[in-house]
Amino acid sequence: MIIGVPTEIKNNEKRIGLTPDSVARLTAIGHEVLIQKNAGESIGFTDEEYLANKAKILDTAEDVYKSSEMIVKVKEPIPEEYKYLRDNLTLFTYLHLAGDPENAKKMIDTGVTGIAYETVTADDGSMPLLAPMSTIAGQLAFFVGSYHLLKHNKGKGVMIGKLEDIDPRVVSVIGAGVAGTQSIAKALENHAHVKVVDSSQQKLESLKSQFGTNNIEYILSNEESIQASINDSDLVIGSVYVVGKEAPRVVTREMLTSMSPGTVMVDVSIDQGGCFESSRPTTHDKPTFVENDIVHYCVTNMPGAVPLTATEALNKATISYIEELANKGIDRALSENKHLKNGLNIQDGNITHQGVKDSLEKI
Ligand SMILES: NC(=O)c1ccc[n+]([C@@H]2O[C@H](COP(=O)([O-])OP(=O)(O)OC[C@H]3O[C@@H](n4cnc5c(N)ncnc54)[C@H](O)[C@@H]3O)[C@@H](O)[C@H]2O)c1
């Protein structure tokens, strides 16, 4: 198969779809890999290294898309890239179609086949291609949240850390899956008092056996419990996810009015449309805005801040699926592997994933 890797062009996005090691694995089994010139340069993956692993280097994104059967990317294509999409091309990447319904419609109309990392499943019901980036985003959420609590960042001017005789600061984590669990661990390591809010009692029980009961509360998610948690918090991290669907809005605008000024809210779920009603997507260039005196951090590509780590972690997870798609061809790979099939979001202008369909039918 001919596999293409264009340069990522989303704001401050320096990750790349394939590392030189992944290219070596694919070319060793007879596949052709086309890399856009300088696509990995800013994280130290040079064209020379790709050439040494038998990739071909092409000058432009157009050249890469035109000559490829499957494109392996990181982030969803942005509107400038839609002109390259066509019906006999497969995209294997994060798609987050429910996060941007208006543009999603235009992408679907190109007829491209879209297999989304975030809806590929595993036997235990987990999301193996979402997990590595959620692991990174969950840890970063605690750090960026703490940083924006600094007074000059418009935060409350409090430190989440260890001080004798001073009560710990409070961190709420709403949605305690892969990302949320990482945020909880970082908050506890930094001596915060943590409120864990999730809609699954089973999830709360299993977290209790992992984190114990010291400096941590486990709370079943509903409007009242969320309001009570956020009213007490210095930092609120929202990391809910319902497979493929637009994120549920767990914090409404109205709920902000009883929070204390300078509280920081990090909306990790912003790539699925955001779990706070007041959220809107931001970029690494300007990551926050203040609404109702609350600092909102809503960067849709948080792992883009650590592109080398994130590219390596992503490739470890994706490479076996890329090999399967390339070796068997798209149709056979999808028909023989139900977990890859769960990743299929769009084909021939139609939405093929029920969760995505449910969310997009609203537009
Ligand atoms: N912004 C970024 O750069 C970035 C990076 C990576 C992941 N993400 C996003 O982070 C989100 C979380 O990903 P994950 O892998 O941790 O998902 P996950 O499936 O592991 O966890 C989601 C959790 O949300 C809980 N949940 C669902 N509905 C809820 C509700 N109404 N109230 C409380 N809890 C609820 C679930 O029970 C589950 O525990 C996803 O939307 C993912 O796309 C964003």
CATH architecture of 131-304: 3-Layer(aba) Sandwich (3.40)
pLDDT of amino acid 99: 84
What are the φ and ψ backbone dihedral angles of 253, each rounded to 5 degrees?
Answer: -60, -45
For residue 305 and ligand 1, the question of a CB distance below 6 A is answered with: no
Query: Atom 38 in ligand 1: which residue has the minimum CA distance?
Result: 177
- Among the listed residues 31, 63, 96, 148, the single catalytic one is 96
Q: What is the pLDDT of residues 108-161, one digit of tens each?
A: 999 999 999 999 999 999 999 999 999 999 999 999 999 999 999 999 999 999
Q: Measured in angstroms, how far is the CA atom of residue 204 from the centroid of ligand 1?
A: 14
CA 326 – ligand 1 centroid, Å: 30
pLDDT in tens, 151-174: 999 999 999 999 999 999 999 999
Active site residue 87: no
Which member of 63, 198, 234, 271 is catalytic? 271
The pLDDT, as a whole number, for residue 363 is: 56
Predicted local confidence at residue 268, as pLDDT: 98
Tell me, using a 6 A CB cutoff, whether residue 77 lines ligand 1.
Answer: no
CA of 213 to the centre of ligand 1 (A): 23
Residue ranges in the chain modelled with pLDDT below 50: none
Calpha distance 179→303 (Å, rounded): 12
pLDDT value for 100? 86
Ligand 1 atom closest to Cα of residue 180: 16
First CA to last CA across the chain, in angstroms? Answer: 36
Domain with CATH 3.40.50.720 in the chain: 2-120+306-360, 131-304
Q: How far is the CA of 303 from the centre of ligand 1 (A)?
A: 15
Residues with Cβ within 8 Å of residue 270, at least 6 apart in sequence: 99, 247, 279, 281, 282, 298, 299, 300
CATH 3.40.50.1980 assigned to domain 2-120+306-360? The reply is: no
Gap between the Cα atoms of 312 and 38, Å rounded: 17
Active site residue 100: no
